[in-house]
Structure 1
Amino acid sequence: MFPKYDVIVVGAGHAGCEAAHAAAKMGSSVLLCTMNMNTIAQMSCNPAMGGVAKGQIVREIDALGGMSGIISDKSMIQFRMLNRSKGPAMWSPRSQNDRMRFAEEWRLALEATPNVDFWQEMVTGITVKDSRVTGVRTGIGIEIEANSVVLTNGTFLNGIIHIGEKQFGGGRTGESAAKGITEQLVSLGFESGRMKTGTPPRVDGRSLDYSKMEIQYGDENPEKFSYSDSTAPLKEQRSCWITYTNKEVHETLETGFDRSPMFNGRIQGLGPRYCPSIEDKINRFAERERHQIFVEPEGWDTVEIYVNGFSTSLPEDVQFKAMRKIAGFENAKMFRPGYAIEYDFFPPTQLKLTLETQLVENLYFAGQINGTTGYEEAASQGLVAGINASLKTQEKDPLILKRSDAYIGVLIDDLINKGTEEPYRMFTSRAEFRLLLRQDNADLRLTDIGYQIGLASEERLEKMHSKRDETAKLINDLKQKKVVPDEVNEALNAINTAEIKEKISVEKLLKRPQVGINDLKTLDKDLEIYLNKYSKEIMEQAEIQIKYDSYIEKEQQMVEKLSNMENYRIPIKFDYLAIPALSAEGKQKLNKIRPETLGQASRISGVSPADLSILTVYLGK
């Protein structure tokens, strides 16, 4: 009935979709298994992509040849570049999306991808021979063979949904939990744990009074995620709104605390620290009289509204009463209550940097099964797992992104070396080289890598080369072009920056904080004509590289210093237990994680500088 596949992907969420698309695009035969073909790429929580650090990840996925950026652009209803008031390392693209169109676009993209087959059924286990995965087993007893398997089970592994004192099995509202996989993996020697996440109520937008809220428009000149020309920027956008909880809302919520699964101990798993439930927020921050609520449309044509900031697992009657005390929500009609979901995950310290498991060869984990939260984090792991499953099938070298290459590299390195005890979320602060890892240069960093592995197209590569070359030419020309005091001082005064006293290059003027690249057009008519030849993207790229040149150079020097340790490889079967001078914790952690390089060993929690020195000596021998 089934051929033997190169790659079987279990789960069709954000991780599974990226894994299936990447492996198939690289030439592998792929089977995507899902419990429901109608929920492929479902946006289980908020209808949005990107955000702080997450937007950088979407751009990186796109630069490598993944689809999340293109799908986001095709289903976008609003775009905002966050943190514009800060430095470019902090700028983060974010889109509001049409939930139904997002899922539809992903399904259509996968159906249009040669080499992807589909099977709708629950996968209850994997088949293993001699510590090597050989395929999957389904709920009706079918065994399907494969060279590799990627598990992207999301919140479905033994998932339990909590609403007040009610609890029932499920991986998402209205969908069954996945049974059997956790138990089998534990029997194979894997360590598992429990985590939780939550979602807010959905309401009828026709029942809200928007006059009592603050309107939140999209950017005046919206951009997009993808570096490709597959879509055009939005010409029309839908607005969001902001409102706030109040003391009365908090008091009403508190009446349900005795029935809250979070407070009465029924939920054991740890929830996301940076996306807490509303009851957690008013409990932890009792001194605050209000909390922000983002009112987000679910799409172009639907009236459904996502109440961002009101995630809760309190009883539905308490949710409803409290919500109606929020400004603008006095007559709100609820479509469905918020809920918490508890699910199994597998500590990611059991993986290699390729996301292949250490215990079972050719078995890969991606997404929330690794303890992460967020569409973007899941999609990036799915992309890397799909790429590496395909590369291994083709007997090619794996793709391992370093911390200096991408936020995706930071994410995976953190998971494998530090593990996580709570749902992991990406922030710009996690990346020590964030000035190098900006959202505007993901294509310059990663498109060549995507092309080399057979994922990014030649057209993408040529477009990136054109951007790189045009930027370099513009920077060089601005270094050569000179301005004199008599011609520009009046214009400099107009933009509140100091006059010049001698002839200087335009590049030096642009290094000033008060001078933007568009301000240069006011200095000189010829300069204006020259700059108008370049696109907004090229001018922005040149401006960033000129203004932050010294800082970028310092980060690159730091990368080069650390690369020596990254290039110092450790033999796969190195016996850490045979080194008596290593600390007990150092031995334990090194033996468990099995780092591939000295650099990776240095980032493992519990491995001291003394351990590292001792290890270096023994490796030298």
Structure 2
Amino acid sequence: MIFNNYYYDIIVIGGGHSGSEAAFSSSKMGAKTLLITSDINTIAKLSCNPSMGGIAKGQIIREIDALGGYSGIVTDYSSIQFRMLNKSKGPAVWSPRSQCDRMLFSYYWKYILKKNKNLSIYQDTVKSLIIKNYKVIGVETKMKIKINAHAVILTNGTFLNGVIHIGTKKISGGRINEEKVIGITEQLNKCFGLKYGRMKTGTSPRVDKNSLEINKMEFQYGDKNIGKFSFFHSFKKTNKQCKCYITYTNKEVLDAIYDNRIHSPILNNSIKGKGPRYCPSIEDKVIRFPKKVDHPIFIEPEGLNTKEMYINGFSTSFSEEIQYKILKKIPGFNKVKITQPGYAVEYDYFYPEQLTNTLESKKIKNLFFAGQINGTTGYEEAASQGLIAGINAYSKIYDKNPVIIKRNEGYIGVLIDDLVTKGIREPYRMFTSRSEYRMSLRQDNADERLSHIGYRIGLISKQNIKIVENKKNKIKKCINFFIKNYVKPIDINNILYVKKSPKICFNKKISEILLRSEISIEDIKNIPFIMIEIKKNKFNKEILDQVSIRIKYKGYLDKEIENANRLLKLENIRIPHNLNYKKINSISLEGKEKLEHNKPKSLAHASKISGISQSDLSIILIYLKKLNKIK
């Protein structure tokens, strides 16, 4: 491949989940894109647990699909066990999760990327950026090749000055057997003042299934009705669904970990980077929760054509010898054979508050950051940032309006808003609890929330947007039918009796019956006149489930809309960039420092800054009125 005097529109550095989505979105929108990766064979590698989705993460994958990204489709292609999590709870926290075949997942991503005519893939390592007048204009690789570009997206994952820890061994690398990247951190920090820190993540050992005593473990099956992530794409044949297994630690395991704690790089301060609070290593669990003995250990298949199993819940940095010693004490692991030891990896990340909400650097024009380089953890969080960075890099160089997902529009919006306004000093993981609009941001309605954006920018086809509009019309029609039509006592009282719900003496609206917590859509859909309407209009299960949710939770949904509108009003109150906060006497010194550092564009932006109170917002509002900046 010859690069002399050739300009790419966009260069994406790194071929992980973030880089794959960034390269896919920018190239599909029409930008001449170059994806540079150190190893083409590891594109979109599931380097830790071979699964996608989970609590809040499943919502993110569905949002990626709704916007026109590909992670959901690739997950469906490689899925070997699908489960909808949290079904015993409310629909706000239902979250899809798929165990994936590691090889199929990476294979299909490479297939998708390689068939895009606007995308080129080059195997090399970028060691520095070419920046002129605080604007990125290209990159220079380890092979001393200079490549020009209008925009660059950094998706380096765990590779910036990465160090792998296995006991006392310190190995240079961002993943096992893959070299670290040197130069980018140093350049951006020393030459341009970008602040960075160190973080730590880890992975669990892989073991041979034939060495396990499966009969001593619990079986974990997938859903009988196999779901999917993509709203628009279905494969003719699903993969064989595999079983997972569960076992638990015991006192012997905990004693062995505690006795060897001095040998753990995580516990003996060999690792300085901050580790994930909500996905701790097995050593962290034992120290942080000394009274808990039975930590769950999940044994999950790596794929359809391998006996290798991933030990979820046993992330560790112990030496291989100690890992083996401890694993043998877990029920079912007495004869265990390790195929790859667990390890911890320490790496550089850049403070994300140095970015705009398009994920562009505030200091260096046309330079975008996405994924773990921003301090997040998880494939899903990384992929969503890559998608948004790819879209906005294209929008920037082609002078289009940027795509900014609001907090009330998607978990992706919550994620990016948290990163750029609050900043982080420990790995950021998405949870449903992070969103104040989680009832509205369900996994089942991501297409209705976001597909119009994907269609506007060219990532969603006209055919697929028609599917979304048809779904919305059917939901509206079904809700109207349930609100306007009545059910007779003779039709419903037997059902109410079985469900231990009070009988009715007079005709009642169908929606009023459905409001009862003990009554589900399944209980009433077979009433003859309701069944006729359902069949006539082809209201499928997806439509009926959404109708049920919107009727049952209307009060919560209305409240979230009200809160979102209130925040929108704050968004319309703009704050001058040169506002001197030192002159506002009633705000605390800490508050002034944070406001001065973040330079909020609006009252809504200021309200999201950690440590800024409602009182501070009121004081700013009064001050702006005195300056005649607002009416």
Band the TM-score falls in, shorter-chain normalisation: over 0.9
Q: Which residue of 2 aligns with 1:415?
A: 419
Contact 1:373 1:424 in 2 (8 A): yes
Opposite residue 546 of structure 1, the aligned amino acid is I
Q: Does 1:549 align with 2:563?
A: no
Could you tell me how far apart the structure 2 residues matched to 1:319 and 1:101 are? 29
CA–CA distance in 1 between the matches of 2:211 and 2:172? Answer: 31
1:114 CA drift (Å): 2.3
Question: Where does 1:142-181 land on structure 2 (aligned, <5 Å)?
Answer: 142-181=145-184
Which residue does 2:442 correspond to in 1? 438
Distance (Å, rounded) in 2 between the aligned partners of 1:510 and 1:74: 36
Q: Output the amino acid matched with 1:539.
A: L
Q: 1:313 aligns with which of 310, 313, 317?
A: 317
Aligned ranges for residues 174-193 of structure 1 at < 5 Å? 174-187=177-190, 188-193=192-197
Contact 1:79 1:94 in 2 (8 A): yes
Report the equivalent of 1:534.
Answer: 539
* Percentage identity across paired residues of the two chains: 52
Pick closer, same or farther for the CA change 1:130–1:619 going to 2, 3 Å. Answer: farther
CA contact (8 A) 1:150 1:386 kept: yes
CA distance in 1, matches of 2:582, 2:358: 25
Per the TM alignment, residue 250 of structure 1 is displaced from its structure 2 partner at its CA by: 1.7
| Map of 1:569 onto structure 2 | 574
For the residue of structure 1 that corresponds to 2:315, the secondary structure is: coil
Q: Which residue of 2 aligns with 1:474?
A: 478
Aligned 8 A contact 2:79 2:239 in 1: no
Aligned AA (2:112): A
Query: Structure 1 residue 223: deviation in Å?
Result: 0.8
- The answer to whether residue 65 in structure 2 is matched with residue 27 in structure 1 is no
Post-superposition CA distance 1:529-572 (Å, at most 9, x none): 33243211111111111111121111111111111012223345
Aligned to 2:233: 229
- Encode CA deviations 1:50-83: one digit per residue, 9 max, x unaligned: 0000000001010000111001000000100001
Query: How many equivalent pairs are there?
Result: 620
Match of 1:127 among 103, 117, 130: 130
Alignment partner of 1:55 is 2:58: yes
Q: CA deviation at 1:326?
A: 1.0
Contact 1:350 1:592 in 2 (8 A): no
Q: Matches of 2:220 and 2:103 in 1, distance apart?
A: 22
Distance in 1 between residues matched to 2:50 and 2:544, nearest whole Å = 32
| Aligned match of 1:348 | 352
Match of 1:454? Answer: 458
Report the equivalent of 1:94.
97
Matched, 1:255 2:259: yes
Alignment pair present for 1:216 and 2:220: yes
Which position in structure 2 is the counterpart of 1:592?
597
Contact 2:21 2:71 in 1 (8 A): yes
Write the letter of the residue equivalent to 1:42.
Answer: K
C-alpha distance in 2 between matches for 1:521 and 1:552: 24
Instruction: Provide the rounded CA distance (Å) in 1 between the counterparts of 2:360 and 2:599.
Output: 13
Distance 2:365 2:599 in 1: 15
**Whole-Å Cα distance in 2 between the matches of residues 232 and 157 of structure 1?**
41
2:398 corresponds to: 394
Could you tell me how far apart the structure 1 residues matched to 2:50 and 2:480 are? Answer: 43
SS at match of 2:525: helix
Structure 1 counterpart SS, 2:148: strand
Deviations 1:358-405 (A, max 9, x none): 110111111111110000000111111111100011101111111111
In structure 2, the residue corresponding to 1:462 is in which secondary structure? helix
Deviations 1:550-602 (A, max 9, x none): 21111111111111012223345555456566543233222322323220111
Partners of 1:452 and 1:577 in 2: how far apart? Answer: 43
1:611 deviation in Å? 3.5
Please tell me whether the aligned partners of residues 487 and 510 of structure 2 are also in contact (alpha carbons under 8 angstroms): yes
Q: Select between 231-240 and 406-415 the one with higher mean Cα deviation.
A: 231-240
The one of 57, 63, 76 equivalent to 1:73 is 76
Checking the alignment, whether the CA contact within 8 Å between 2:377 and 2:429 is kept in structure 1 is yes
Q: For 2:117, what is the secondary structure of its paired residue?
A: coil
1:601 counterpart residue number: 606
Any stretches of 5+ residues in structure 2 without a counterpart? none
> Are the counterparts in 2 of residues 196 and 343 from structure 1 also a CA contact under 8 Å?
yes
The TM-score with structure 2 as length reference comes to 0.96
Contact 1:197 1:272 in 2 (8 A): yes
Question: Are the structure 2 counterparts of residues 232 and 562 from structure 1 closer, same or farther at C-alpha, using a change threshold of 3 Å?
Answer: farther
8 A contact 2:267–2:283 mirrored in 1: no
1:160 positional shift:
0.3
Q: Secondary structure at the match of 1:261?
A: coil
Aligned to 1:491: 495
Q: State the 1:280 CA deviation.
A: 0.9
The unaligned stretches of length 5 or more in structure 1 are none
SS of residue paired to 1:6:
strand
Shift of 1:486: 2.5
In structure 1, distance between residues paired with 2:520 and 2:550 = 12
Q: Are the aligned partners of 1:253 and 1:319 in contact in 2 as well (CA < 8 Å)?
A: no
More displaced 10-residue stretch of structure 1: 278-287 or 248-257: 248-257
